[in-house]
Structure 1
Amino acid sequence: MANRAVSAATLGTALEWFDFTLYGAVAATILPKLFFPAMEPTSALLASLATFSVGLAARPLGAIICGYFGDKIGRRNLMLGTVSVMGITSVLMGLLPTYAQIGVYAPILLVILRILQGFALGGESTGGQLMALEHAPASRRGRYSGIIGMCAPLSQILANAVLLSLSAFMTQESFESYGWRIPFVASFILVLVGIYIRVKVSETPAFVEMKKTSASKAGRPLRDAFRLHYKTIIRMMLFFCGPTALFYLAVVFTLSYLTNTLGVPKQTGFKLLMIANACAIAGSIAGGIVSDKIGRKRALLIASAATFVIALCYFPALETRNFAVMAIAMGLFMAFTQVQTGIQPVAFAEVFPTNVRYTGSALAFTGASLFAGGPAPVVATWLVKQGNGSPWGLVALVAALNILSFVMIAIGPETKGNDLNRVDTDFGDNDQYAGVAPTEKRASV
């Protein structure tokens, strides 16, 4: 069941990230012309990237609602619901009329669909992680975490491979007219496969055990997460602001920077992103394996320090316009960023008790996307424009994000070996908790 759970989580999450990633790629290249043609090019690009950010902004709402029900009714049921919503919104996005056809209603509908897509992903990401890790043997949680962490770069490879193939075999006019729509509509078939796989997975042992305690009746996941674990939520969110911002800078902004600022051909940009994401997959798996050996904290600190050094050279390397140099820089940058992302699922799962694990993890994960991941491409575009094409303002931003992550990792505890079956038992002294035994009102078990 553990292997089935990690397979279901990995494949299902990768399929959902495929849809989400696909939008990020076309937002940087195609959508400015189709949905914001009345604006000048830079403003249109900023507006298009802002719609990408809207999807990320909706993720905390999905995290709150799905986290609450995930901690109340179980991980498995929520995972089936989120993947269904993702599939429907993707199909509708592929069929959406453009600005030339329905005017201002086109970008409005685009934003609505992005909100629904972000809501679904906000609940899905954490649910998939917990489904796998709460089934995993304690000695192999890091390895399972690394496999789950590779979903985002894997989806990047799939999405960019599809777009690259379509753009190679279609004229520019045909690709901009209907070619970009094909993967959105076709992805619904893949989502059906994800639903089928998840139906075969049972509820997690940790949640089943939690349902036997007073926490399942007396606890309120959202309230208890904020009341008892708000410091942990904030610390984990600030830690992940660095990796998530750097990931979106690499996969969303870098493509725009290469093609629009440096004049690199679009197909070359797609190839570079595919190479970088292949390195990211290796980094994610390696990070998970290493964290099982030396601990989550030490592995994260090493990866964060390495990312900081590479980040200082990243944009100057891109400016060489040499394919090999750009590929090495992007590959190393993504690999060490993804080492941290590969450890994130297990680090988040181990730091929270079962009764608030879905809620706490989802709030920290999506909070990082809201405050750092979503705005990152927009802020990066603005900084480059303000610097008249110079990337040094952006380099300073990347360095600051790395330092923030490093500090949050350093002040946190080591979580390797924590018991995933532990629950909170301090539910307050309200009358509705009168049936809870006094010995069960301690903060932790």
Structure 2
Amino acid sequence: MTPQEHMLDGNAAVRAQHSDEKRMANRAAISSIAGSALEWLDFAAYGAIAATVLPQLFFSSTDPTTAALAAFATFSVGFVARPLGGLICGYLGDRVGRRNMLVFTFLLMGICSFLIGVLPTYASIGVLAPVALVTLRFMQGFALGGEVTGSQLLTMEHAPKNRRGFYSSFIAMGSPLAQVLANAVLFTVAALVTNEQFLRFGWRIPFLFSFLLVAIGLFIRMRISETPAFEAQRKQKRTGRVEATPGFGKHGGTILRLMMVWAAVSIAYFIATVFILSYVTSKLGVSKQTAFAVLIVAHLCSMIAMGVGGALCDRMGRRRAMLIGSRSMLAAFVVFFPLILSGHILLIGLAIVFLLCAAQFHAGVQPAYFAEAFPTEFRYRGSAVAYNLAVVIGSSAPFAATLIQAHTAGATWPIVALGVVFNLISMWAIHAGAECYGE
């Protein structure tokens, strides 16, 4: 074979390799958003029913305010479990691979969700009903704690270095897509049945799809390969050319800083999607169907904001993109309740869309922003712990807001102040961190 032929064969091999890498990156993005949306669906449905029917079904012996607080506390239990799930699944995911852990988390989420769908209520088994609900919710949170960061890494580590933000923004879309599906299902069911039928069996329907979702999700997950970054790390370990894995002592400061960054975003998200659903239906008299429809529109808009955030952070860097989102979120918090309290459904919708889009703009940047702050061998654990600890803080926002209103005669300004303070802390933490784009 002539040198020219050797060169042509070499070029063809390089092109084939690039083509395979691009195809796997696209497959990783598509499979991750689909798998993540399926896994988030039941978790999202729980958030919606926690704001509407759980107080009546599982805490019916208490007064309405206490029942709402109990329902939101149960909602938060799933998020309290997430750091533990992120830590354990992250530790294993850094050793056995991203994909293997994602199969496990998907199965666990599906089983727990189905069991919630067939769970007897307080009227049937008394106090055992909320106890069982809390237990299943905890296991859901454990699964999701390992799922979120794992699916982000699966996509980000398959993506080209200069398009990590854009590709990883797709996985962030899994959550709002699930919210759209969950609220669409609940909207449809609420429109087709009476309030009494919705309380009796309608709310269970999204959870009973879990077995079907597990089958589809496993098919999607098994078609994706392990990430090149993890395979390279595993090869280095086999050859003995890798140093001891740095622990939490070395990366604890980064984890704390990222937790402060994301706490504000998480608070805004749960105020805009969970607390406000309870507020507008119970305080302003907005119907469940209308509230679900508004959230569907808001989540669809937020998916566009995610894509914009992911694309921009590939052009201007992660830190600058995050600061743009933070400034927008600060403005959204200031005008949020004045628009809500107008009572006009279009202004209510505008308030929710503005705050949710500002928060979800960050979500398009977050996977790459968090992952690039840690080395490959610590990436799953570090990202998962920082992200899930922040979400624990954010998930308590509906409970805190309900408690604040109960002790301030329904005042909304303390809720705004809470969001603004956390937002300013987040902006300081973003400024304090280095730009890790491309690491």
CA distance change for structure 1 residues 293 and 128 in 2, over 3 Å: closer, same or farther?
Answer: same
The match for 1:383 is 404
CA–CA distance in structure 2, aligned partners of residues 98 and 409 of structure 1: 45
After TM superposition, the structure 1 = structure 2 runs for residues 206-245 of structure 1, keeping only pairs within 5 Å, are 206-214=229-237, 224-245=246-267
Contact 1:164–1:267 (CA under 8 A) maintained in structure 2: yes
Contact 2:156–2:368 (CA under 8 A) maintained in structure 1: yes
Q: Which amino acid aligns with 2:38?
A: L
Tell me the CA shift for residue 183 of structure 1.
Answer: 1.1
1:278 to 289, 292, 300: 300
The match for 1:442 is none
CA distance change for structure 1 residues 240 and 220 in 2, over 3 Å: closer, same or farther?
Answer: farther
Tell me the CA shift for residue 187 of structure 1.
Answer: 3.0
Tell me the CA shift for residue 97 of structure 1.
Answer: 0.4
SS at match of 2:382: helix
The match for 1:436 is none
CA distance change for structure 1 residues 235 and 216 in 2, over 3 Å: closer, same or farther?
Answer: farther
CA distance change for structure 1 residues 108 and 290 in 2, over 3 Å: closer, same or farther?
Answer: same
Q: Which amino acid aligns with 1:230?
A: G
The match for 2:15 is none
CA distance change for structure 1 residues 164 and 212 in 2, over 3 Å: closer, same or farther?
Answer: same
CA distance change for structure 1 residues 7 and 225 in 2, over 3 Å: closer, same or farther?
Answer: farther
User: Is 1:357 equivalent to 2:385 in the alignment?
Assistant: no
User: Is 1:341 equivalent to 2:363 in the alignment?
Assistant: yes
Tell me the CA shift for residue 214 of structure 1.
Answer: 4.0
Contact 2:49–2:203 (CA under 8 A) maintained in structure 1: yes
What are the superposed Cα offsets for residues 306-362 of structure 1, whole Å, 9 maximum, x if unpaired? Answer: 110111010110000111111112111111110111110110111110100000000
User: Is 1:399 equivalent to 2:420 in the alignment?
Assistant: yes
Tell me the CA shift for residue 414 of structure 1.
Answer: 1.1
SS at match of 2:104: helix
The match for 2:169 is 146
- How many residue pairs end up in the alignment? 415
The match for 1:164 is 187
Tell me the CA shift for residue 220 of structure 1.
Answer: 7.2
The match for 2:8 is none
CA–CA distance in structure 2, aligned partners of residues 61 and 2 of structure 1: 29
The match for 1:113 is 136
Tell me the CA shift for residue 213 of structure 1.
Answer: 2.2
Contact 2:111–2:210 (CA under 8 A) maintained in structure 1: no
CA–CA distance in structure 1, aligned partners of residues 208 and 244 of structure 2: 39
CA–CA distance in structure 2, aligned partners of residues 191 and 384 of structure 1: 40
What is the CA RMSD across the aligned residues, in angstroms?
1.4
CA–CA distance in structure 2, aligned partners of residues 67 and 347 of structure 1: 17
The match for 1:305 is 327
The match for 1:69 is 92
Tell me the CA shift for residue 219 of structure 1.
Answer: 6.9
Contact 1:78–1:123 (CA under 8 A) maintained in structure 2: yes
Q: What's the TM-score once normalised by structure 2's chain length?
A: 0.92
CA–CA distance in structure 2, aligned partners of residues 153 and 201 of structure 1: 23
Residues 274-283 or 48-57, more deviating = 274-283
Contact 1:90–1:188 (CA under 8 A) maintained in structure 2: no
Contact 1:225–1:359 (CA under 8 A) maintained in structure 2: no
SS at match of 1:37: coil
2:432 to 411, 432, 445: 411
Unaligned runs of 5+ in 2: 1-23
CA–CA distance in structure 2, aligned partners of residues 139 and 301 of structure 1: 20
CA–CA distance in structure 2, aligned partners of residues 158 and 401 of structure 1: 30
CA–CA distance in structure 1, aligned partners of residues 414 and 315 of structure 2: 38
1:49 to 67, 72, 87: 72
User: Is 1:3 equivalent to 2:26 in the alignment?
Assistant: yes
The match for 2:49 is 26
User: Is 1:251 equivalent to 2:273 in the alignment?
Assistant: yes
Contact 1:78–1:127 (CA under 8 A) maintained in structure 2: yes
Contact 2:190–2:288 (CA under 8 A) maintained in structure 1: no
CA–CA distance in structure 1, aligned partners of residues 388 and 114 of structure 2: 24
CA–CA distance in structure 2, aligned partners of residues 82 and 229 of structure 1: 25
CA distance change for structure 1 residues 128 and 288 in 2, over 3 Å: closer, same or farther?
Answer: same
Tell me the CA shift for residue 384 of structure 1.
Answer: 1.7
CA distance change for structure 1 residues 212 and 312 in 2, over 3 Å: closer, same or farther?
Answer: same
User: Is 1:192 equivalent to 2:221 in the alignment?
Assistant: no
Q: What's the TM-score once normalised by structure 1's chain length?
A: 0.91
The match for 2:156 is 133
1:92 to 92, 112, 115: 115
Tell me the CA shift for residue 395 of structure 1.
Answer: 0.6
CA–CA distance in structure 2, aligned partners of residues 324 and 249 of structure 1: 18
CA–CA distance in structure 1, aligned partners of residues 239 and 57 of structure 2: 49
**Identity across aligned pairs (percent)?**
47
Tell me the CA shift for residue 62 of structure 1.
Answer: 0.4
Tell me the CA shift for residue 191 of structure 1.
Answer: 2.4
Tell me the CA shift for residue 281 of structure 1.
Answer: 0.7
Contact 1:32–1:48 (CA under 8 A) maintained in structure 2: yes
SS at match of 1:388: coil
Tell me the CA shift for residue 199 of structure 1.
Answer: 0.4
Unaligned runs of 5+ in 1: 419-445
